[in-house]
Structure 1
Amino acid sequence: MVDLLATVARGRVRVVTGPWSADEGALVVDADRLTDVVVEMFPFPIPRVPGQRPSVRLLNGTGDPGLDAPAREAVLRAGVELAVVGNYRNDGVIQTRVIHRDPTDEAAAEALAAAIGGGVLFDQYLSPVTDLTVVIGADFVPRAGASRG
């Protein structure tokens, strides 16, 4: 227990202002700010109902570790279940893409691609570990204010 507390105490501590404001005596939640806070606090949220949202494998194809956090945040903002994070087999990927292996996942792939700024590919031989695979390419543009590194 002492080791656990010592580890927690060495961690980064930050006080965050709540994502709400008072309006005529009632608290009003800023939904966008709430999403920002949740994504930052829980980089790998555990879904309440597994399988309810598409599962995603996120792979960095650029070799730039500074894109890991902004890419993770962009994918989570799209409302998917982030299951696996890693690096692509090479770091020369130019275009960000969302790959699906099941034709029934095409709409989810298109929605995710639109949210993160990428293209969609179908690959029937893609690993079945997750519903979708995102490969971040050199064209990926982090959202303004996203954390880097």
Structure 2
Amino acid sequence: MLRDRLAEKGISLPSGRRKTAPTTSFTALCEREALVMARDFSNLCSNSLNTFEIARHANRLQYSPHELVIIRRYLAGIMAIFDEVPEDPEDYVEKDSATHSINIFSMLTHGFGHNALKASLRVFGKIVDQQHAMLQGNTCGIDNLVPRMPCSFLARNPCHKDKKQLW
């Protein structure tokens, strides 16, 4: 219909790509709205979720400090892949199949999906750090653990007294 009306005015509109992605509730959002939702979700995860109590309850599963270090390293590796994909899917430059897959997911959710998963990974990492601190008998620095994963996740935490900080 639009193509016909434009043709009447002497403008030709070439056939473009057909939409092959599934229609979801994210389809109705523009990218900025989805990114704002992702930031709000991240802030809620960081500020409203009591990760200390979750960690305390999870410690009943009898994890050893060594097991938590391994879990943390797996989380750090996954988070590093997610960090390669920019917040806004429009800014993405293809690097490899893993980041490409994450970017496709991000585009399908207009930027919400991968940012929400990053926030979730940060929460999981914070819980693991708090579990590790509790198992080490450290209660003074649990709130000081950094909620973001740097590349060198074995940075020193002064409160641990020669023990490695995982996050």
The answer, yes or no, to whether TM exceeds 0.5 is no
TM-score (norm 1): 0.25
Larger radius of gyration: 2
Q: Greater strand percent: which structure?
A: 1
